[in-house]
Structure 1
Amino acid sequence: MRQIPNIITLCNLFCGALAIICVLHAPEFRADFNGADYTVTTPEPVYWAAALVVLAAIFDFFDGMVARLLKVQSPMGKELDSLADVVTFGVVPGMMLYRLLRSAYFQEPDVFDVSIVNLAPALLVPCFAAYRLAKFNLDTRQSENFIGVPTPAVGLLVASFPLIVLYNPYHLGHWFQNIWVLYSIILVLCYLMVAEIPMLSLKVKEKSLKANWTRLLLVVLAIVSIPVLKFAAVPFIFIVYVILSLLFPPMKAKQA
């Protein structure tokens, strides 16, 4: 019984490792969006990588819940969870952004002069994710809410980018083929992960509507936006999540 939460956490890690394989085996092809020629990635491997990140997020949500229900929380489980999250919600998004940057540079006239240095900023995401997770393990203020955007939210956000490029909802795909947009996203995500900003958690500690209306609003907007915005719903929900946290910050936990 004590190992059940750890097994669920390892399922998260397994999904992350498999997602890396999918990203590595995603060949590129030329596609036409609104008269413009783009180099994008073959749909199937990226689709599975994104699906694996979503599945990993489900495992990540339930491992802690199962540990609490079985009353088998342990320091090892906490550390194992962070190690799995570094891979799934740090390394995988970093690799996806690397592929997107590489694809974006294929649109540039000086593509053959592109150095690895131009693509390396994508690897800042796993670095900042690792820092955030290490900080989370030591920060006693984050027992009920978060300080900084949690890594699973970043992982799910980035996992939606290749799918937005591929299926181009509302003609948004070209934005993720722009190197400066991608660089800006990388910088913003790295900052948000380590920023001293109280962020909402989906953990429900009280049953009153007053205490949970922001969480309920976020869930309702997610349900409504998915059929309308399709894959673009993920960035929309992420932005709403950040705005709600900034406008209505959760009560700060006791200082460490």
Structure 2
Amino acid sequence: MKSYIPNFLTLLNVLSGCIATVFAVFNHLEWAALFVFIGIFFDFFDGLAARALNVQSEVGVQLDSLADVITSGLVPGIFMYQLLNMAERGGWNLGFGHDIELSVMPFLGFVITLASAYRLAKFNVDENQVSSFVGLPTPANTLLIISLPLILMYHNNEVLNGIILNPWFLIGLTILSAYLLNSPIELFALKFKNWSFKDNGIRYLFLIGSLIMLLTLKFLAIPIIILAYILMSLIDGGGRAA
């Protein structure tokens, strides 16, 4: 019976991603972001449960990536579509009308979905990404993308709004996101083999720093945290801290 627990948690990630997709399509990005956070929560704990119960399986590995294609692949692609659509129309709009004239540019957001799917496929056949990652993990990339409309909603700063709703910024971020997902950069994983500071110093520093930034900067902290994650990994050498 216990062998089904991790897969059940993964299926909850799938469900969260499906709900987030519906909200994102109708441009209710705040609710969509909430269910992405819930999905990433289940994504973290399904692997933890599998290791704790010693019930890792090939089915679980494949199911986990299929879930991530939805929650951390399709959904951020829709978020970027909506942001590009807003940028093209010159403003922030919480509603998604039925009389929308489709244009090509917003569909560039789905480059993130394609890059995420490709990364997940590579991850499934790469046996070396155990204690570290090669390229930005899809959940981290998703948090970066979904933070943008949350910054618009909760910070409402004219300078930030102008940057985020600049179509060239969004296109550039889409290209950068696709590159980071499949880049050769080695990044440390938040997996603790023991609790000693000597072996996990970079992880403790990252988690403590992230918590402080979230408490002080709120959603604006998320892009900074992702940038700090990449820079700390480059400085540490990614795998050396594992």
Deviations 1:212-240 (A, max 9, x none): 11111111111111122111011110110
Match of 2:215 among 227, 236, 246: 227
Q: Give the Å deviation of 1:169.
A: 5.3
2:205 paired residue number: 217
Q: For residues 83 and 65 of structure 2, what CA distance do their matches in structure 1 show?
A: 26
Match of 1:204 among 183, 192, 211: 192
1:74 aligned to 2:62? no
Q: For residues 103 and 30 of structure 2, what CA distance do their matches in structure 1 show?
A: 26
Aligned pairs for 1:1-256 (under 5 A) are 1-26=2-27, 45-107=28-90, 116-168=103-155, 171=158, 172-251=160-239
Q: For residues 192 and 57 of structure 1, what CA distance do their matches in structure 2 show?
A: 19
Q: Give the Å deviation of 1:206.
A: 3.8
Task: Find the residue that maps to 2:239 and give its secondary structure.
Answer: coil
Q: For residues 86 and 80 of structure 1, what CA distance do their matches in structure 2 show?
A: 10
Q: For residues 239 and 155 of structure 1, what CA distance do their matches in structure 2 show?
A: 13
Amino acid at match of 1:5: P
Q: For residues 79 and 31 of structure 2, what CA distance do their matches in structure 1 show?
A: 12
**8 Å Cα contact 2:10/2:42 also seen in 1:** yes
Q: Give the Å deviation of 1:140.
A: 1.1
Q: For residues 8 and 212 of structure 1, what CA distance do their matches in structure 2 show?
A: 27
TM-score (norm 1): 0.85
Q: 1:173 to 1:163 in 2, by over 3 A?
A: same
Q: For residues 52 and 193 of structure 2, what CA distance do their matches in structure 1 show?
A: 15
Task: Find the residue that maps to 1:251 and give its secondary structure.
Answer: helix
Task: Find the residue that maps to 1:94 and give its secondary structure.
Answer: helix
**8 Å Cα contact 2:187/2:239 also seen in 1:** no
Q: Give the Å deviation of 1:190.
A: 0.5
Q: Give the Å deviation of 1:71.
A: 1.4
Deviations 1:47-106 (A, max 9, x none): 111111111111000001111111111100000000000000010000000000000001
**8 Å Cα contact 1:95/1:123 also seen in 2:** yes
2:94 paired residue number: none
List gaps (5 residues or longer) in structure 1.
27-44, 109-113
Task: Find the residue that maps to 1:141 and give its secondary structure.
Answer: coil
Q: 1:170 to 1:104 in 2, by over 3 A?
A: closer
List gaps (5 residues or longer) in structure 2.
92-100
Amino acid at match of 2:46: D
Deviations 1:177-236 (A, max 9, x none): 000110111111100110111101100124332321111111111111112211101111
Q: For residues 109 and 85 of structure 2, what CA distance do their matches in structure 1 show?
A: 10
**8 Å Cα contact 2:131/2:239 also seen in 1:** no
Task: Find the residue that maps to 1:199 and give its secondary structure.
Answer: strand
Amino acid at match of 1:184: G
**8 Å Cα contact 1:148/1:193 also seen in 2:** yes
**8 Å Cα contact 2:19/2:32 also seen in 1:** yes
Deviations 1:141-173 (A, max 9, x none): 101110110000011111111111122355422
Amino acid at match of 2:139: P
Matched length: 230
